[in-house]
């Protein structure tokens, strides 16, 4: 059954109206006599005896937090990171309802909230951002938002933070967009989830960002209709027919789509794939050898009563992909965004927080959970609260966690 973005919005709004737990007030850890032993921590707290302060954990310490109140926001969403190639300082780029916040996370003893780039038009539950060539490109579901472009090198010298930043450019070739993808090393952005009645039917807008301050439309892909999320790669996987091509994997609500988008004027659909108990095909990521694609369906837990289900597809032959296996997690929490680094899959699992999965045995259908950090300790219910996304790509090993209800968490594997 096909679900539209409008239905997802209704689900989000319905839950937010019925929610009873206060924001930023997780259940406290107690001793055996029911006494609270630590208040909600915001700075370094090791994972000991299954908790980092109030937060359930296994194998991951809390480095620090920046709350929604600190950032002047009421809800969080997507997150990404940037390492300054000159200074090697690390920054969290935090999507929030009313803009994008910037946090210097280099000093593990003191995270510094530098300030905010306000939304281009109005507040929105949805905001997404990716980095290319020291610029961040930001889209939102906010009406007429377009794509903001911000020069991240401005973060090097911020006096008297926090400050209010201004965008360096704004692309208006579309209004709202749900997501954006950028291929490392290429100068092309792929905006998806735009208006369903636009020139590409809510599919993909190809935007040339070789001049970051002057983005230009370079084509699009609307043959398969609305796309909720995509990953695009310079293909180096096992299918010899597509070596060196730009391959797009689209999460299209009720199916996966594989397309060759090397020629932006003539994108070609290679295959589409459905799977059992489809509810809302949401987001996925390649393994590093590009043999397997790991997918989350955002509504299967809601509609079918599964514990959190992660699907793995065999993409050895891009013309004939197949379902390889399913991994069922330990709780009924809804899975959201997930990313691969090496033989680890870092999953934002809403109310169950960050779940870190060992995918070294994925070829043998063997996936297991290695650790976790639960940013929403109140429960692991099948609702749209808690962790939205994770960024695992800093060389320091720090992980950025973007929580809807509590803002930014920075965690790191326990020594």
The Cα–Cα gap between 244 and 115 comes to 40
Mean pLDDT throughout 71-96?
Answer: 98
The Cα–Cα gap between 85 and 83 comes to 6
Sheet with strand 147-151: strands edge to edge: 127-132, 135-140, 147-151, 169-171
Pull the structure tokens for residue 280: 């809302």
**Mean pLDDT of all residues in the chain?**
92
pLDDT above 80: residue 8: no
Place of tokens 């200074």: 87
Q: What is the largest CA-CA distance in the chain?
A: 68
- Which residues are CB-neighbours of 51 under 8 A, at least 6 positions away? 29, 57
pLDDT above 60: residue 211: yes
- Which residues are CB-neighbours of 216 under 8 A, at least 6 positions away? 207, 208
- Which residues are CB-neighbours of 184 under 8 A, at least 6 positions away? none
pLDDT above 90: residue 23: no
Q: What integer pLDDT is reported at residue 40 of this predicted model? A: 80
- pLDDT band at residue 30 using 50, 70 and 90 as cut-offs: very low
- pLDDT band at residue 171 using 50, 70 and 90 as cut-offs: very high
pLDDT above 60: residue 24: no
- Which residues are CB-neighbours of 348 under 8 A, at least 6 positions away? 335, 336, 337, 338, 354, 387, 388, 389, 390, 401, 402
Q: What integer pLDDT is reported at residue 33 of this predicted model? A: 38
Pull the structure tokens for residue 201: 């039917």
- pLDDT band at residue 26 using 50, 70 and 90 as cut-offs: very low
Q: Which residues are registered as beta bridge partners of 294?
A: 285, 312
Mean pLDDT throughout 269-280?
Answer: 98
Q: Which residues are registered as beta bridge partners of 246?
A: 234
Mean pLDDT throughout 123-139?
Answer: 98
pLDDT above 70: residue 36: no
Q: What integer pLDDT is reported at residue 51 of this predicted model? A: 98
pLDDT above 70: residue 10: no
What percentage of residues in the chain have a pLDDT greater than 90? Answer: 89
13 against 65, higher pLDDT: 65
Mean pLDDT throughout 126-149?
Answer: 98
The Cα–Cα gap between 61 and 55 comes to 10
Give the side-chain half-sphere CA count within 13 A for 205. Answer: 28
Lowest mean pLDDT, pick from 15-24, 311-320, 334-343, 355-364: 15-24
Alpha helices in 242-291 (DSSP H): none
Q: What integer pLDDT is reported at residue 25 of this predicted model? A: 35
The Cα–Cα gap between 315 and 311 comes to 13
pLDDT above 50: residue 7: no
pLDDT above 90: residue 1: no
pTM over 0.85: yes
Q: What are phi and psi of 198, to 5 degrees?
A: -85, -175
């Amino acid at each position: 059954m096909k679900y539209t973005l409008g239905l997802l919005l209704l689900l989000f709004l319905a839950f937010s109206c019925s929610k009873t737990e206060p924001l930023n007030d997780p259940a406290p850890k107690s001793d055996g006599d029911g006494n609270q032993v630590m208040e909600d921590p915001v700075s370094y707290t090791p994972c000991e005896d299954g908790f980092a302060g109030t937060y359930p954990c296994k194998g991951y310490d809390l480095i620090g937090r920046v709350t929604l109140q600190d950032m002047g926001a009421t809800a969080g969403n997507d997150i990404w990171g940037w390492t300054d190639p000159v200074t090697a300082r690390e920054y969290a780029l935090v999507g929030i309802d009313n803009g994008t916040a910037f946090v210097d996370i280099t000093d593990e003893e003191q995270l510094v909230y530098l300030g905010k780039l306000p939304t281009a038009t109005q507040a929105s539950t949805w905001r997404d951002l990716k980095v290319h060539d020291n610029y961040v490109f930001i889209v939102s579901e906010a009406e007429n938002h377009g794509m903001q472009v911000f020069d991240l090198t401005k973060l090097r010298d911020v006096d008297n933070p926090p400050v209010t930043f201004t965008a360096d450019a704004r692309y208006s070739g579309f209004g709202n967009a749900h997501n954006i993808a950028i291929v490392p090393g290429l100068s092309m952005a792929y905006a998806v989830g735009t208006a369903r009645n636009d020139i590409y039917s809510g599919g993909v807008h190809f935007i040339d960002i070789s001049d970051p301050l002057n983005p230009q439309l370079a084509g699009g892909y609307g043959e398969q209709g609305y796309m909720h999320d995509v990953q695009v790669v310079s293909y180096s996987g096992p299918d010899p027919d597509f070596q060196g091509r730009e391959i797009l994997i689209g999460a299209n609500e009720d199916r996966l789509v594989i397309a060759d988008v090397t020629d932006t004027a003539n994108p070609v659909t290679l295959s589409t794939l459905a799977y059992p108990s489809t509810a809302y095909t949401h987001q996925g990521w390649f393994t590093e050898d590009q043999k397997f694609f790991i997918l989350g369906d955002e509504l299967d837990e809601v509609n079918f009563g599964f514990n959190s289900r992660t699907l793995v597809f065999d993409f050895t032959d891009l013309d004939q992909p197949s379902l390889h296996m399913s991994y069922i997690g330990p709780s009924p929490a809804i899975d959201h965004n997930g990313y691969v680094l090496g033989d680890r899959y870092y999953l934002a699992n809403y109310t169950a927080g960050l779940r870190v999965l060992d995918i070294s045995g994925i070829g043998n259908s063997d996936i297991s959970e290695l650790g976790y950090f639960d940013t929403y300790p109140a429960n692991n219910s099948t609702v749209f609260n808690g962790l939205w996304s994770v960024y695992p790509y800093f060389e320091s090993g720090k992980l950025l966690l973007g929580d809807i209800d509590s803002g930014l968490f920075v965690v790191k594997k326990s020594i």
